[in-house]
Chain A
Amino acid sequence: MPTISIDTFFACSLMVLLMISAMAGASKLLYPHINNTVDMNIAERYASVSKYLLLNDGTPSNWGQNCQGVPETIGLAKAGSDNPYTLDIDKVSRLNNENLYAVSYAQIFTALEMPDVSFRIEIEPVFEVALNLTEAFEGANKTSYEFEILTEKQGFPVQAELKFYVIAENYLETSHACVSNGRTYMNVTISNDVNGPALLVVFARSVSNAEIVSFSAYPFAHNSPEPKPKGTFLRLSPLNYTLNASLIYPGINLSDVYALSFNYSSTLTQTANSSQSATYNIPHFLDPSPTLIVVTGRNSTSFFTEWTAYPQIPLQTGANFASSTALSNVFAYTYLVTINSALYKCTVWLGGPRQ
């Protein structure tokens, strides 16, 4: 065989090998980029969907206030608001499953009109308030309780002004505001003539910005057995500045009902009642703060307190993505939103099948 034929055969074989390896290499190299482009497109689409949820008011625009109405298209924005990411207090409250008039996940899913998109919405204060009962000192006439109050954002201390209320049977105590650097101790003294269980409500307002407010409530025994869990006696549903208190079982008598915010407090007047529920008007406080509503009453044997916030937060509604990230594209978007002049953190999770 001549030398030229061997060289040509060798060169042709090399070219064929080269072409095959080039095709294999190109597909291996470009696959992540092509896949990434698809992911980026999905991420951008989901980002637009999350903004749509928070910037549009839905149809009808007042679907939150109409307790029987179901939205045709979903949107949480306050109708007619000039500021972006300002949410409607009633639309937010209707996302909470504790509310009697809550819209179900299926109803929101239908109203979103995107059959390939699952979602989850979480709204909570910008920072957390944690309350711990550290000690109790029982005297002849009074009992003192020492509480540890932590104001933190993901473990980092937050400097905040604190205001607390103590509620028991026919008893409301209000404190003056005090400043905490993230951890402080506070004493609550209650007369032994007062019947419990008692409820400690703490509002914390950031020192740097008055619109950033958080809260927490802590029930504790005082002249009483240990308090029952929240929701044992009543289902509280604030909507359209009206509180509906539904009795979980008959034989419950309601007494004082309070609306509390950082700067204001008020005793609510009953506007209607039946054997199964009672309604109260909630005042419009000119305060960049959530309103905490505390209902007191008695069942056949003992005193109780039930409470909820208006807007009804913290809330988590929608699909649970915890175990489905392997087979689906899940993206989370966090926004700062305003509800009744106070700032909250809203996280929108969106997911769909991996493409």
Chain B
Amino acid sequence: MKNENRGQIRIIEAFLAVLIIFSSFAISANLTVTQTVTNHDNLASTGLLALVKLDSDGSLGKYIEDRDWAALRDALNLILPAGIAFNLTVYDGQMQQVNTDVISNCGFSSEDIAFVEYVCASQGSNFHCYMIHLYLAVAA
């Protein structure tokens, strides 16, 4: 390399360094993963506690056995904090959907959706086991 070109190479190096450092800034500005995980955790624990409380006296199993989807939706709507949207699906042991109606209070407009999986056993004379999938989001 000729001596008179060495300074120009250093300028190119400097511009390359500028490019690398500012691109790393642009990438790091989008690092907000921790917050999202915590919001998910809070929503999921709220949903799980609601299902546990409904199941503690056998109400949850009774709603499913009686196919009383309106009562299940109303109960969830009442015990979940205001401003939380939910969508619940009940599956039987063969993972076939049991609920014929939609058990939800409104549509999901948020991309931040938490998921809770809960196993519920009926307390009737015929034993049945159900898998419940509950999706939760903060309503817009």
Most chain A CB within a 10 A radius of its CB, from B17, B34, B57, B79: B79
B residues near A11, Cβ cutoff 8 Å: 7, 10-11, 13-14
Report the interface size class on chain A: 35 or more
CB pair A341–B78 under 8 Å, yes or no, is no
Q: With A7-B10, A29-B25 given, is the CB distance from A212 to B35 under 8 Å?
A: no
Q: Determine which of A7, A126, A158 lies in contact with B8 in the assembled complex, contact meaning CB atoms within 8 Å.
A: A7
Q: Determine which of A43, A83, A206 lies in contact with B38 in the assembled complex, contact meaning CB atoms within 8 Å.
A: A43
A209 proximal to B (CB < 8 A): yes
B residues near A14, Cβ cutoff 8 Å: 11, 14-15, 18
B residues near A302, Cβ cutoff 8 Å: none
Chain B 13-26 per-residue mask, 1 if CB under 8 angstroms from chain A, else 0: 11101100100010
A284 proximal to B (CB < 8 A): no
Which of B48-56, B87-95, B131-139 lines the interface with chain A?
A: B48-56
Which of A140-148, A227-235, A332-340 lines the interface with chain B?
A: A332-340
Provide the bound-state CA to CA distance between A33 and B8, in Å.
38
Contacting A at CB under 8 A, from B29-72, are 29, 31-32, 34-35, 38, 42, 46, 49-50, 52-54, 56-57, 59, 71-72
Provide the bound-state CA to CA distance between A8 and B18, in Å.
16
A residues near B74, Cβ cutoff 8 Å: 159, 206-208
A101 proximal to B (CB < 8 A): no
Q: With A7-B8, A18-B18, A335-B49 given, is the CB distance from A26 to B54 under 8 Å?
A: no
CB pair A153–B78 under 8 Å, yes or no, is yes
Q: Which residue of A lies closest to B37 (CB)?
A: A40
Provide the bound-state CA to CA distance between A22 and B34, in Å.
24
CB pair A84–B52 under 8 Å, yes or no, is yes
A residues near B78, Cβ cutoff 8 Å: 126-127, 153, 158, 206, 208-209, 212
CB pair A29–B28 under 8 Å, yes or no, is yes
Provide the bound-state CA to CA distance between A15 and B18, in Å.
8
For the A-B complex with A14-B15, A153-B78 known, give 4 more contacts whose Cβ atoms are closer than 8 Å. Answer: A10-B11, A126-B79, A209-B78, A336-B53
Interface residues of B (CB under 8 A from A): 3-4, 6-8, 10-11, 13-15, 17-18, 21, 25, 28-29, 31-32, 34-35, 38, 42, 46, 49-50, 52-54, 56-57, 59, 71-72, 74-75, 78-79, 81-82
